[in-house]
Structure 1
Amino acid sequence: MLWIPFTLLAAFTQALRNAQQKILSRDVNAIGVTLARFIWALPLAGVYLLILELAVPTEVPHFSGRFLFAVSAAAFAQILATILMVLLFQRRSYAAGVGLAKSEALLAAILGAAFFGALLGPIGWLGIAIGSVAVWLMKGRSEPGTLDLPTLLLGLGSGLCFALTTLWVRDACHQLSLPFMHTAAWALVWTIGIQVSALTAWLALRDRATLLQLWHQPSLVFRISLSSSIASLCWFTAVNLEQVALVKTLGQVEVLFTLLLSQHWLKEQVSPRERLGLLLIVVSAILVILPALTT
């Protein structure tokens, strides 16, 4: 049951990070906002891994070809997912953007069952189905014409890439014969290292102005990276302990935190439709964790 508190903390810190990214996206392009989530996360993840090794020493693991493929694929899938989400924020409200991207839970269940051998019970599938309906309700206002095809594709594309990220991270963690906290930390360091290297090199060669924009907003960039590193560490640990579809469905409580931040911090209005979606997300989360609570 350790995966439950890790998932709840991940959901909260991710909602906080997304709200901060929404603010940064007003001044910085999508690739720059994506780099902001990783740039300070690498040293933070390195410090965390060092503390773990000092507290509970382990041998440096063997990094197999399958591990390196999985963390590399996860790294680039997460970059693409974040870019698509930032583009979504620029088209829709913060709450609506997050709601569309949360299609990842259903996509993770389907992909996990099809390609990663992850089997769910009927209650888990019911929770995922209800959560998917909730995501549809959370997609935004109900007025005609508010959800066009490009916006829908951005949301589904972001959700698909986030789902693939988590599935590949889980696969990478399972290649290391270490305690679960250590495997999550090693996977996090590798993933973020690849992301920071790729994005920094790209911007240094193609768009140095964006690097300067990030340099001029150090406080916001650090807060984004800090919340991002905590969220990623908690996600990595949770999916190392439990099936991705269950973790991501429970993680849809992020929408609760999203609505609170959207209404009280970013001053966006919450519609009755979105409140109904919130209620269904709570029901979905209860159905997902019910088997774990009764075993």
Structure 2
Amino acid sequence: MDKNLLRSRLQEFLTEDIGRGDLTSESIFSDTDSGCASLVAREECIAAGARRVAGEVFHVLNPRVSITNCVEDGTQLQPGDLLMTVAGPVIDLLKGERVALNLLQRLCGIATLTGKFVQAVEGTGVRVTDTRKTTPGMRMFEKYAVRAGGGSNHRFNLTDGVLIKDNHIAACGSIGETVRRTREQIPHTIKIEVETDTLKQVEECLACNVDIIMLDNMDTETMIRAVQMINGKALVEASGGVRLETVREIAETGVDIISIGALTHSALSCDIGMDWVE
């Protein structure tokens, strides 16, 4: 994660939550009161963002806050396991609590769901990736959590690669013409990926020598036929409606990549709390 962008986003989140000040905490405590608290898992989950995100929340508030005992990203946690300890001015710990927990719960939830998908395809050689179906303003954090869970990132934004989708093709007229126009404009170092939903479109992609062919919302029988047709001439990505119950079957069709929007748009936040130590 870009550190400058990270701190800028965290400052925005803190400003949103704190407003003109923490009326409750500032009424009870003085600037000289100090304390210590632990962030603890309440359920089984995979850790993501303890040091680099939640810890940074407190450092944005006050660089004097001490962050210790941070668990490494990707660590499998059990209920009661410690993610990190924070110590410093009581007011700053309380001001940062909600933002730090919101982010940590969200990122651990994404990492945990990603880990389940990765485990489900273990041994197949298939790469599990995310998509751009992320929460606006949270893409950097959510894609970071996917990697913590053992997954990989697809495009971060539209400048990261060419992906010709159904509406590009519909607006242009055909796969062949869309690819031709694209090749005239992009550097030779950029790969071209095309989304398909029929075997006829797969044939068109092969005729155009595209680099990556996405099989979108195909049933597994059609995917098997598509993989046989492609026969190593392009990377094959499966996408669309992938569930934990179906991801293994999809992986066994012979595709190289499975992209899953649910990793970021459907992950549930994990139960993590901040317990006062002293």
Superposed pair shares fold, TM > 0.5: no
Return the TM-score normalized by structure 2.
0.29
Structure with greater proportional strand content: 2
Give the structure with higher Rg (CA).
2
The TM-score with structure 1 as length reference comes to 0.28
